[in-house]
């Protein structure tokens, strides 16, 4: 009994001590809050005011997992992410009891099924397509669905490696992003598109100008199939890339040709490219030096602006034309960009792509210039819509990130990505196991291709690129739908 009594007394003393420690801590926090001048809420409501910041921080987490419905969340909802996850894991994506998608939402695409579709043994198959037929080394691109630009630096070493290996296994190309060509892009043996950004990372001289010798060296890799001159991307048109100095380690600095530990800021456009003619000169120069098909990546502000490109090509002749145009939508993603640009600048891919396809057709350049669509196209329906709207190829970055295990934590710019994708912190990177993740990358890409082929089969065509705007109807505010062909016909086309 005496032993039990002593234990109880000891526990009571510990409890009292902890209570006293907690009270002391609260008093200290209260004093700190009342004397600080940076936060009015904490100053007026000591201690309690701290919960506002805590709940604001946790709100994002709780909305994602507990409160948001499957198709409500942005930038990507749970249904989209789960489809990618199941595809990457090789699980079936069949569902039961009916669609959970609200098909009355304005802008929803609805595909027009054929009255007498091909039989199952006539199933639609995608075919390779040549890009840059007149280049010294044309590219026979095997897949209509490919990986969009993500730089080594913006994403981690294991992420780039897994993507490279996965793209090779799936037979799709990988875009380097503007951060230069790293050993990890080449490690998997996939086809590579080298992105030439405004800062000329990886092919720049000491002053930041294009170094032809370095460009020739990069293009000399057999894996490098094309050069993409980046003018703009959807998340930040009119502003260059941003890589925080915390991500610029010695290796990344060497690959890019920049200073270690310093913020890496790209110019907002290519120096010396002041109009469409200057751009065509740059395209011809890069194609001549590299020998590889050369195109551009940009964002449409309005149809009249892009029409200037086609006017310049028609005036000078097809030989000066880019081999491809990658059109990114204003809803495109990035690791870091100002909110006004992410939210408000740049035409959506849903409007820009049909406009670009019409401009190309009216200029008589359909067989000369390939269109690559990008911007939040991560599921089969998105990709099928883009092909029907006029794209020859579709690229995705965030879809592939989901296949790597991205949970949309929205910490891409903080070097604290919990899945190891966008961080260079080894403690986080260890969670990304390349030998597992590359298989998921490949499975995701193959699932997209297979299910887009299924949609093409349903609408009655033998190859996904044979889908046309007449095969898609778009839901209108009155609940009805109209053909995408009819909508596109109403666009003002520059003459």
Q: Can you give the pLDDT at residue 60?
A: 53
How far is it, in rounded angstroms, from Cα 354 to Cα 486? 11
Kindly list the distances between the CA atom of residue 275 and the CA atoms of 147, 212, 288, in Å, as whole numbers in the listed order. Answer: 29, 22, 20
How far is it, in rounded angstroms, from Cα 168 to Cα 63? 36
How far is it, in rounded angstroms, from Cα 380 to Cα 109? 12
H-assigned helices in 144-240: 157-170, 183-187, 212-219
Mean pLDDT by 10 residues, the chain (495 residues): 68 85 89 77 76 60 52 60 72 63 81 87 84 96 95 88 96 94 95 95 90 96 97 70 78 87 83 94 97 95 85 95 92 60 72 94 94 91 96 93 79 74 80 87 93 93 94 92 89 54
Please return the burial class of 3, using the count of CB atoms within 10 Å of its CB with bins 0-12, 13-18 and 19+.
exposed
With 0.85 as the threshold, say if the pTM is over it: no
Which neighbouring-strand residues pair with 175? 193
Q: Can you give the pLDDT at residue 49?
A: 77
CB 383 within 8 A of CB 455: no
How far is it, in rounded angstroms, from Cα 37 to Cα 324? 55
Q: Can you give the pLDDT at residue 494?
A: 46
- Residue closest to 312 by CA, chosen among 271, 357, 274, 350: 274
Going by their DSSP bridges, the two strands 264-265 and 242-243 should be labelled as antiparallel
DSSP letter (8 states) at residue 210:
B
How far is it, in rounded angstroms, from Cα 265 to Cα 462? 46
* Tens digit of each residue's pLDDT (9 = 90 or more) over 259-305: 888 887 788 888 899 999 999 999 999 999 999 999 999 998 887 78
- Residue closest to 455 by CA, chosen among 368, 374, 394: 394
* Tens digit of each residue's pLDDT (9 = 90 or more) over 314-339: 999 999 999 999 999 867 666 555 66
DSSP codes joined into one string, 91-108: -----SSS--S-TTSTT-
């Amino acid at each position: 009994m005496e032993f039990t009594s002593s234990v109880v007394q000891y526990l009571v003393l510990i409890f009292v001590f902890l209570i006293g420690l907690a009270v002391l801590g609260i008093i200290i926090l209260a004093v700190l809050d009342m004397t600080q001048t940076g936060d009015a809420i904490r100053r007026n409501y000591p201690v309690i005011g701290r919960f506002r910041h805590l709940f604001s921080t946790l709100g994002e987490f709780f909305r994602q997992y507990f409160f948001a419905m499957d198709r409500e969340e942005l930038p990507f909802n749970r249904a989209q992410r789960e489809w990618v996850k199941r595809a990457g894991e090789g699980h079936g994506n069949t569902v039961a009891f009916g669609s959970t998608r609200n098909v009355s939402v304005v802008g929803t695409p609805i595909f027009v099924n054929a009255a007498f579709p091909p039989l199952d043994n006539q199933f639609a198959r995608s075919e390779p397509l040549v890009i840059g037929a007149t280049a010294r080394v044309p590219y026979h691109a095997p897949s209509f669905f490919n990986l969009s630009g993500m730089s080594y630096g913006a994403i981690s070493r294991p992420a780039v490696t897994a993507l490279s290996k996965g793209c090779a296994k799936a037979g799709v190309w990988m875009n380097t992003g503007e951060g230069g060509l790293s050993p990890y892009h080449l490690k998997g043996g996939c086809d590579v598109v080298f992105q030439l950004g405004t800062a000329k990372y990886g092919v720049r001289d000491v002053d930041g100008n294009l170094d032809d010798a370095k460009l020739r060296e990069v293009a000399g890799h057999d894996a490098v199939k094309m050069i993409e001159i980046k003018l703009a991307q959807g998340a930040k048109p009119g502003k260059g890339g941003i890589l925080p100095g915390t991500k610029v380690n010695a290796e990344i600095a060497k690959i890019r040709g920049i200073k270690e530990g310093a913020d890496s800021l790209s110019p907002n456009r290519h120096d010396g490219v002041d109009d469409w003619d200057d751009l065509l000169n740059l395209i011809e120069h890069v194609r001549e030096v590299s020998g590889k098909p050369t195109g551009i990546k940009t964002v449409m502000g309005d149809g009249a602006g892009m029409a200037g490109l086609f006017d310049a090509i028609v005036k000078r002749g097809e030989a000066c034309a880019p081999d491809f145009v990658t059109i990114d939508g204003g809803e495109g993603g990035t690791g870091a960009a100002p909110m006004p640009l992410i939210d408000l600048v740049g035409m959506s891919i849903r409007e820009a792509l049909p406009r670009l396809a019409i401009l190309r057709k009216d200029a008589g350049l359909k067989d000369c210039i390939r269109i690559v669509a990008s911007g939040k196209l991560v599921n089969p329906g998105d990709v099928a819509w883009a092909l029907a709207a006029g794209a020859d190829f579709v690229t995705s970055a965030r879809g592939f990130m989901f296949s790597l295990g991205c949970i949309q934590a929205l910490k891409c710019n903080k070097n604290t990505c919990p899945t190891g994708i966008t961080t260079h912190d080894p403690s986080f990177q260890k969670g990304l196991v390349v030998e597992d993740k590359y298989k998921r990358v490949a499975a995701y890409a193959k699932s997209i291709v297979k299910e887009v082929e299924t949609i093409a089969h349903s609408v009655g065509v033998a190859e996904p690129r044979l889908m046309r705007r007449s095969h898609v109807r778009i839901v209108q505010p009155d609940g009805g739908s109209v053909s995408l062909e009819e909508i596109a016909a109403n666009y003002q086309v520059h003459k």
